Structures are given as C-alpha cells and as structure tokens.
Amino acid sequence: MSTLESRTVSVRITRPWQEVYDFAATPENVPRWASGLARSLREADGEWLAETAEGPVRVRFTARNRFGVLDHHVRVRPDLDVYVPMRVIANGAGSEVQCTVFRLPGTSDEAFARDVAWVERDLQTLRSLLEG
C-alpha cells in the first residue's frame, strides 16, 4: 500500500490543553462540535454508533490518555475503516488541536477539499464552544 495524500488542520484555542482534551475526549460531546463525524452518538454493546448523513457508522475512540491523543477509527462500511489522527497539544497557556485528513483512494479533488473544509469548520466550532 502506498502512502495517502493528507492535510493537517489546526486551530488554536485559548483554554488549557487539558480542558480542551477533556471536553473533546468525551464521546457524548462529539455531536456538539464534530458535525462531520456524527449528528448523534450513542454507546451500544461497548461500541459507539454515530448517525451520519450516509447512515449509521461505528466509531472506536482511543482510550483516554495523558498525551492529548484523540485518534479514532470510523467504520464507514465493513471493508473500510478510516483512521483519523487527532491531537490536543499545549500552546503556551492555551492549546492547539490538530486533525489529519487522509485522502482515500478514489476521492476526487473536490471531495477531498470538502472533507478538509468540513474538518476546519468542526474545529472552529470546537473553539467557539470552548472559548464561549
């Protein structure tokens, strides 16, 4: 398998990194800021089920950790598990949230640009929620 084209989107938030991490790492908060991932999210049999525009998908979140890692895997269909690397890092008294978007095989330039723009909007929403 070859490497995939990617784009890392980043936003600065004027809140301590641990507060940002705690909020973003709580699955029940995800629909409040990550419209690209889920309209709603519920736990069922130890897994998270997200309602999306394309129907339900399964989401696996990285366990809480002290490193700010928010990676998750989205099972779009039985043969496609999308890895989404995401981090919250300290940036002075505030934080930086970074999310990498991979361009999956067969994704057009326009669709990849839409995916990146959607992640940018979601991270701006996260910032707005946390900065109030």
**For residue 33, pLDDT beyond 80:** yes
- Tell me the domains of the chain and their CATH numbers: 6-131 (3.30.530.20)
Rounded to a whole number of angstroms, the CA Rg of the chain reads: 15
What does 51-99 look like in DSSP terms, one character per residue?
EETTEEEEEEEPPP-TT-B--EEEEEETTEEEEE-EEEEEETTEEEEEE
Give residue-wise pLDDT tens across range 46-60: 789 888 777 888 999
User: Quick count: other Cβ atoms within 10 Å of Cβ 72?
Assistant: 21
User: DSSP character for 29?
Assistant: G
pLDDT tier at 12, thresholds 50, 70, 90? very high
Half-sphere exposure of 131 (CA within 13 A, CB side): 13
Q: Say what the pLDDT of residue 1 is.
A: 60
Q: What percent of the chain has pLDDT over 70?
A: 99
pTM above 0.85, yes or no: yes
Give residue-wise pLDDT tens across range 51-94: 877 788 899 999 999 999 999 999 988 888 999 999 999 999 99
Q: Rounded to whole angstroms, how far apart are CA atoms 105 and 80? A: 11
**Structure tokens given for 8:** 């890392």
User: Whole-number mean pLDDT of the chain?
Assistant: 93
**For residue 19, pLDDT beyond 90:** yes
SS3 call for 118: helix
